[in-house]
Chain A
Amino acid sequence: MSFQATTSQTVGPYFQIGLARFYIDDLTGPGISGERVEIEGRFFDGDGQPVPDGVIEIWQADAQGKYAHQENSQELESIQNNDPQKKEFAQAHEGRGVFRGFGRVPTQADGSFRFKTIKPGRVPAPDGTLQAPHIAVSVFTRGLLRRLVTRIYFPDEPGNAEDFALKLVEEGRRHTLIAKKLSDSRLEWNVVLQGTDETVFFDC
Chain B
Amino acid sequence: MMQSMGNFRGYRRADPGTQPNHLHPAYVSSVKRAPSKALINLPHTLSEVTGPSFDSSVIDVKASDLTRQQQGEPLGERIIVSGRVLDEDGRPAAHTLIEVWQANAAGRYRHNVDQHNAPLDPNFEGSGHTLTDERGNFKFITIRPGAYPWRNHYNAWRPAHIHFSVFGPAFATRLITQMYFPGDALLPFDPIFNCTADEKARDRLISAFDWESTLCEQALGYRFDIILSGRDSTHWEK
Contact = CB atoms under 8 A, between A and B. Distances in A.
Interface string A1-41: 11111111111111111111110000000000000000000
Interface stretch (A80-88, A110-118, A191-199): A191-199
Interface string A141-161: 111111111000000000000
Interface stretch (B8-16, B71-79, B131-139, B214-222): B8-16
A194 B35 contact: yes
A201 B226 CA distance: 25
A198 B238 CA distance: 31
B189 interface: no
A145 B40 contact: no
A79 interface: no
What's the dominant secondary structure at chain B's contact region? Answer: loop
A175 interface: no
Given A14-B114, A201-B39, A19 B99 contact: yes
B48 interface: yes
Nearest to A47: B32
Interface in A105-137: 123-128, 130-131, 134, 136
B155 to A, nearest CB: 19
A7 B111 contact: no
A6 B205 CA distance: 7
B40 A140 contact: no
Closest 4 A/B residue pairs (Cβ): A18-B101, A143-B29, A143-B33, A102-B52
Given A4-B18, A59-B52, A68-B53, 17 more contacts: A1-B90, A3-B88, A4-B14, A5-B175, A9-B176, A10-B178, A17-B101, A17-B126, A22-B97, A123-B46, A143-B34, A144-B22, A145-B21, A146-B20, A165-B45, A169-B40, A201-B35
Interface of A: 1-22, 45-47, 49, 51, 53, 57, 59-61, 65, 67-69, 71-74, 94-95, 100-102, 123-128, 130-131, 134, 136, 138, 140-149, 164-165, 168-169, 173, 193-195, 198-204
27 contacts: A1-B89, A4-B204, A5-B228, A6-B228, A7-B204, A9-B20, A9-B176, A12-B163, A15-B163, A18-B99, A21-B129, A22-B99, A45-B33, A59-B171, A71-B170, A73-B4, A124-B2, A126-B5, A126-B8, A149-B42, A164-B45, A165-B45, A200-B40, A201-B35, A201-B37, A201-B40, A202-B42
